[in-house]
Amino acid sequence: MSERFTPGLAPDHAIPALADRPSSRPSPRMALGAMMLATSMSTLAQTAATADQVMPAVEVKGARENEAKESIRTSTSSIGKGQQSIRDIPQSINVMTEKLMDDAKLTTLREALHYSAGITFAATENGTDQDIRLRGFPVATTGDLLIDGMRDPSQYDRDTFNVDRVEVMRGSASMLFGRGSTGGVINQVTKKPFLSTQHEVMTTVGSHGNARVTGDFNFKTGENEALRLNVMRTKAGNKGAEVDKFGIAPTYSWGIGTRDEVSLGFFHLETDNVPMAGVRYLGGTVPDLNAGNFYGTNSDYVLGTASYATASHIHRFGEGAELRSQLRVGQFDRSQWGTTASFAAGTTPANLTGSTRLNLVGLAPRKDQYRGTYLQSDYNDKYNWFGLEHKITAGIDAAVEEADRYGAYGAVTTNFNKGSTTAGNPDAGLQLNAIPTFRPNSAYSAQAIGLYAQDLVQIAPAWKLLGGIRFDHFNGRFRQIAYPIGGAPSETTTSLSESPFSYRGGVLYQPTDRASFHFSYGTSFNTSADTYQFVTAQNANTPPEKSRNIELGAKLDWLDGKLSTRAAIFHTEKFNERTTDADFAGSAYLLSGRRHSQGIELDVVGRLTRKLELYLSYSLIPTAVIDQIGSAQANVVGSRVGLTPRQSGAAWLSYQVTPQLRVAGGLHGASQNRPLQGTSGAASTTAQAPGYVVGDLMAEYVFNEKYTAQLNVNNVANRNYGDQLYPGFVITGAPRTALLSLIARF
């Protein structure tokens, strides 16, 4: 097999590294680490002067800085605060590497998550596509989506052009990340500069007007300095829905591999899309239409920008200890207006034909701006106390967040009718004369700070104990504006302040370097401000919801470490959920709700033979039940939780036919799924999306070390399936799409 482009050091390159450390050392170093933790950000301005203090070099033969480009398997993850071996993280971890994303042409975060089991997507009334469910619980964009371990706020079209890998950690994780994290967290690891000059340009063209160009340029600019620039331009169609976006992400690092390593980066993404229209259920199920049919109008749009700057600093004390600090400042703007198509009265699945009329109705227009500043420092080290080895992880993080949200008024709000077409005439080119006019309707500002500490103790040759605790303080101020007909606008201001604790514990049994078994317990919490727009006088004083996760799992390596298997049995429970009660209606919420999910997860990743590579992710959730709720919704007790199919999974298999030719294929799908029903979270009893399996194919031919051609056909059978579900409508998945890519490496 020809060598793939590798963002890493060339073989035999001498990597500046730290000397092996002794088993114990004086306690003053820990005090020094604590001082550095408290003052870490001040070192960002000083590291240029110390970047040339290179530690003693260690010769490493065939070293690779990044597994993600060469393999669908990785043995390490940064999702647990600092780079760790996956076997030392006592929770279920699933990683989609850059190779998997490139092979299967997964160009957005949502597409990548199709290849991670147990994840589903909700469509929302305003047409956004970032409402993600994991193990039956919401993954909120404000707390559970991360970039390099820091919060990735707001809703925007997350593209993978600057992503090295996507890491999914399932189960409660508030001890590490603060509010949210009930079902788990999703971390996008960005591409970093490395000490070699290598470039890659990928040009892709395909059906439905698809055209995409990405560039990944890495320049070694000095002995321990490098610049990496990733760019993307995409224009694509989907039978009427459109994608038009541009992205750029430069990062400059100096002191790479030395005592002080600094990176400065910037990310900017612009989108001007036509969103896929929703379609009403017909006969309680996804209507039998051609895959990808677009029943929207030329007035539909999603306009957005996402821009943020990041500064990071790693101070290596020597002997394996390090302090990693990050600062990120960003702004996110989004405006959108989508459409839902409804069937003419009397339409049934039996009489649906190409001449059936569809009425196009606009969704609620939306516009918002989000601003966030995040600061985080994490300290990792080893100590020998009382004859036992301790791996200490401790940190502090802070956030300042603000948002302004706008609602539409005028003609658009009184007449959402966008015209009509027929089932056999999608993309009819309808143009609505009215466009949304916006005015402010809510705003918020919030501040949060968290401190945590965790210790992994080697209590015996094969046994480790994990314990961690975190304290968070959150306060916010929320403003809502009402516009009475014929009256002056009025404002209502509400404040919220919370200070909860979170915990994490676990036992690991590692009899060999190829086997690791774990039992873990973790908690999480959700404040009333998780959505940052529903805080009112009624719920401002309601304490946070609390959740817990119990997990028993195993991580085993086979075939000399080339193949990894991971399995987990879990029980995730939210045990004091906010509910409404008839006796307190309009005045307060109760924490009387309870729901839980439990199931099994399985991952198999790596090489079965020298030529055969496998990725498998599977989830079985037989139980996802609402156990208790307020009297106002008592009828849903015992119901299954919505957006939680019993089975879901994905697989990808590639085979090296000849040194030049590699073929691959994949499947992803889920069993029957139902949208949420009202605010209770119960599954709808009147709407459902049937189970589905979607197949993808790929063939790659390597002409030489510089040029490679790749052909992808996604959704080979042109399957029409429900991808994003809302109680009133469904957004179907992309139709069959053929893509031809030419990759140049130099």
Q: Per residue in 82-105, pLDDT tens? A: 888 999 999 999 999 999 999 999
- Note the CATH number of domain 14-307+319-745: 2.40.170.20
Residues 618-640: b if buried by 16+ CB within 10 A, e if exposed = bbbbeebbbeebbebbeebbebb
Q: Give residue 61's pLDDT.
A: 34
Q: Which of 52-56, 330-334, 528-532, 540-544 has the highest mean pLDDT?
A: 330-334
pLDDT digit string, tens, across residues 167-178: 999 999 899 999
Which is more confident, 242 or 239? 242
Domain limits, the chain? 14-307+319-745
On whether the CB atoms of residues 669 and 693 are closer than 8 A, the answer is yes
Q: What is the pTM of this model?
A: 0.89
The lowest-confidence range among 42-51, 287-296, 379-388, 562-571 is: 42-51
pLDDT digit string, tens, across residues 25-52: 334 444 434 434 444 434 433 433 343 4
CA distances from 121 to 118, 334, 676, 714 (A): 10, 20, 11, 19
Termini Cα distance of the chain: 18
pLDDT greater than 50 at residue 487:
yes
Average pLDDT over residues 224-228: 98
| Sign of the C-alpha dihedral computed for residues 121, 122, 123 and 124 taken in this order | negative
Q: Which of 34-43, 226-235, 471-480 has the highest mean pLDDT?
A: 226-235
Average pLDDT over residues 206-228: 97
Residue 174 is given by DSSP the state: H
On whether the CB atoms of residues 522 and 503 are closer than 8 A, the answer is yes
Q: Which of 46-60, 135-149, 218-232 has the highest mean pLDDT?
A: 218-232
pLDDT greater than 60 at residue 532:
no
Whole-angstrom distance, CA of residue 672 vs CA of residue 597 = 17
Whole-angstrom distance, CA of residue 290 vs CA of residue 271 = 27
User: How would residue 60 be classed by pLDDT, with cut points 50, 70 and 90?
Assistant: very low
pLDDT greater than 70 at residue 57:
no
In a 3-state reduction of DSSP, which class is residue 489? coil
User: How would residue 659 be classed by pLDDT, with cut points 50, 70 and 90?
Assistant: very high
pLDDT greater than 70 at residue 142:
no
Residues 44-77: b if buried by 16+ CB within 10 A, e if exposed = beebeeebeeeeeeeeeeebbbbbbbbbbbbbeb
Q: Give residue 413's pLDDT.
A: 74
**Average pLDDT across the chain, whole number:** 87
Q: Give residue 140's pLDDT.
A: 66
pLDDT greater than 60 at residue 53:
no
Average pLDDT over residues 469-478: 95
Residue percentage of the chain with pLDDT more than 70: 86
Q: Give residue 68's pLDDT.
A: 53
